[in-house]
Amino acid sequence: MEGRKMAIIATKGTLDWAYPPLILASTAASLGYDVQVFFTFYGLQLLRKDLDSIRISPLANPAMPMPMPMPVFVQALPGMEAMATSMMKQKMKSKGVASLQTLRDTCRECDVKFIACQMTVDLFEFDKSEFIDGIDYGGAATFLEFAGGADITLYI
Amino acid sequence: MEGRKMAIIATKGTLDWAYPPLILASTAASLGYDVQVFFTFYGLQLLRKDLDSIRISPLANPAMPMPMPMPVFVQALPGMEAMATSMMKQKMKSKGVASLQTLRDTCRECDVKFIACQMTVDLFEFDKSEFIDGIDYGGAATFLEFAGGADITLYI
Amino acid sequence: MEGRKMAIIATKGTLDWAYPPLILASTAASLGYDVQVFFTFYGLQLLRKDLDSIRISPLANPAMPMPMPMPVFVQALPGMEAMATSMMKQKMKSKGVASLQTLRDTCRECDVKFIACQMTVDLFEFDKSEFIDGIDYGGAATFLEFAGGADITLYI
């Protein structure tokens, strides 16, 4: 797949939706693709040094397979978001799914280019010192230059 | 459109977001596209033999047109998810929108290829006997081989 | 970028997810792309003359950077959706982010073609007189004709 390009726009920051961009980017890169990921909106959470604060919400997520059915008002109780996050992490670990940290490291080792959306950084007042090193900052116009010539472009 | 290819990654499993991949896949296939759909994460719900358990949540969904405005704490009451699901299904039926079952059948008749993500099947401990027959199992790498040469690739 | 084409399927209608299709469409158009946006499902909300009713929900949105942490049951209280919407709008204004109205106007001035999904208009019983003028109505098949030849196709 030498010479092929993949462009990803990563907009989500929850535990479930943090996986797809990192899995697809690392897989494509290991197949020889030239990959760039543009992190914008809540996707910027994936660039934090510390990924422990990434959570999943069981609320309004009726398609999430749960170990036991639970009424919505129970899902809204204090602590349920933390519990669902902890359960999902344990399940992933027990099933041998790589952590977000490992997938992100694999991306970097495979030369996936990470770009943080400058507009969203300003909007949400993210502190750049909280982000990992070696990333670029840019806007939609810069990213479209790469995406316009990519074989696969995904908005996640 | 002979010779054209469409690749879809279907990740959602709620009643509203189950429609787009099946509508787009069946439409493209009927236009002569060669179509493959990769079902991963909650998207695996769309491969169940029984699609009746697919629901919609009115919670945290302020853009859903509702017959009457309803405060969030009412939406969280027991039974509201079932009520919203039932109302949406009735509305679709009365408007002549095809059911998920019908759209899925149309996809199969038009030779749309369905691939279940093996990693997510393992992670969520789906029972393969709950899935429809005639589907493939694979990973992101296999799917990217097809997507890399597709005219349209969508992450839904 | 003359001669390049971008196709966008806009399916979301909340304040946060209303921005990406309008930002990407206006940016691409200003770079010389020929752009078409197909508004379907909740995305139809973005075609209303009055965009003031577009809201954001803090519920089930753990990745949204909030000024202060708030338990889920507080987020579910009456008025919290309106408060989060108002706070987000004020923040965007103070940071110089263009309003949805301005971005939409820019799209129109750059000849971005807007297409409303006829099936969803019928399904949700939208009143066409509530939509802005100068838009087309069509279905997935029509849109795929354009998308099949586009350099970038995004499902948002």
**What's the complex ipTM?**
0.91
Beta bridge partners of A138: A117
As a whole number of angstroms, the distance between CA C48 and CA C36 comes to 18
As a whole number of angstroms, the distance between CA C38 and CA C139 comes to 9
**Alpha carbon separation from A70 to A66, B42, C69, C72 (Å, rounded):** 8, 17, 24, 16
Q: Are C127 and C48 in contact (CB under 8 A)?
A: no
Predicted pLDDT at C102? 96
pLDDT in tens, chain A (156 residues): 669 999 999 999 999 999 999 999 999 999 999 999 999 999 999 999 999 889 888 777 777 776 666 667 677 777 778 888 888 899 889 989 999 999 999 999 999 999 999 999 999 999 999 999 999 999 999 999 999 999 999 999
Instruction: Classify C1 as helix, strand or coil.
Output: coil
Instruction: Classify C122 as helix, strand or coil.
Output: helix
Convert the pLDDT of each residue in C68-105 to its tens digit. 666 676 777 777 788 888 888 998 899 899 999 999 99
Partner A, chain C 23-42, Cβ-Cβ below 8 Å: 23-24, 27-28, 30-31, 33
CATH class entry, domain B5-155: alpha beta
**Residues of chain A positioned with their CB less than 8 A from the CB of B14:** 62-63
As a whole number of angstroms, the distance between CA C96 and CA C19 comes to 14
- Give the dihedral of Cα atoms C68, A17, C91, C17; nearest 10 deg: -140
Closest partner residue to A152 among B13, B40, B148, by Cβ?
Answer: B148
Closest of B124, C71, B118 to residue A87, by C-alpha? B124
**Residues of chain B positioned with their CB less than 8 A from the CB of C75:** 72
Partner A, chain B 120-139, Cβ-Cβ below 8 Å: 122-126, 139
Instruction: Say yes or no: A68 contacts chain B, CB-CB below 8 A.
Output: no
Instruction: Say yes or no: C118 contacts chain B, CB-CB below 8 A.
Output: no
- With 70 as the cut, is the pLDDT of residue B66 above it? no
Q: Which two tokens stand for residue B132?
A: 């429809």
Predicted pLDDT at C131? 97
As a whole number of angstroms, the distance between CA B101 and CA B151 comes to 27
Beta carbon pairs, A and B, within 8 Å: 82
**Alpha carbon separation from A139 to A136, B27, C7, C63 (Å, rounded):** 10, 34, 19, 21
Q: Which residue has the tokens 């919505």?
A: A72
Q: Which two tokens stand for residue A40?
A: 């914008």
Contact (CB<8Å) B77/A76: no
Predicted pLDDT at B67? 61
The distance in angstroms from the start CA to the end CA of chain A is 22
Chains near C (3 or more Cβ pairs under 8 Å): A, B
Mutate to test the interface with B, among A4, A12, A64 (most CBs of B within 10 A): A64
Closest of B95, B46, B91 to residue B65, by C-alpha? B91
Mutate to test the interface with B, among A95, A103, A155 (most CBs of B within 10 A): A95
Domain ranges in chain C? 5-155
Summarize the confidence of residues B33-62 as an average pLDDT.
91
Convert the pLDDT of each residue in A81-102 to its tens digit. 888 888 889 988 998 999 999 9
Closest partner residue to B62 among C55, C139, C154, by Cβ?
Answer: C55
Convert the pLDDT of each residue in B89-148 to its tens digit. 998 899 899 999 999 999 999 999 999 999 999 999 999 999 999 999 999 999 999 999
Residues with pLDDT less than 50, chain C: none
As a whole number of angstroms, the distance between CA C55 and CA C42 comes to 12
**Residues of chain B positioned with their CB less than 8 A from the CB of C125:** 65
**Confidence band, pLDDT 50/70/90 cuts, at residue B81:** confident
Q: Which residue has the tokens 């075609």?
A: C47
As a whole number of angstroms, the distance between CA A65 and CA A40 comes to 28
Sequence-ordered strand ranges (E) for B1-156: 5-10, 34-39, 113-117, 136-138, 152-155
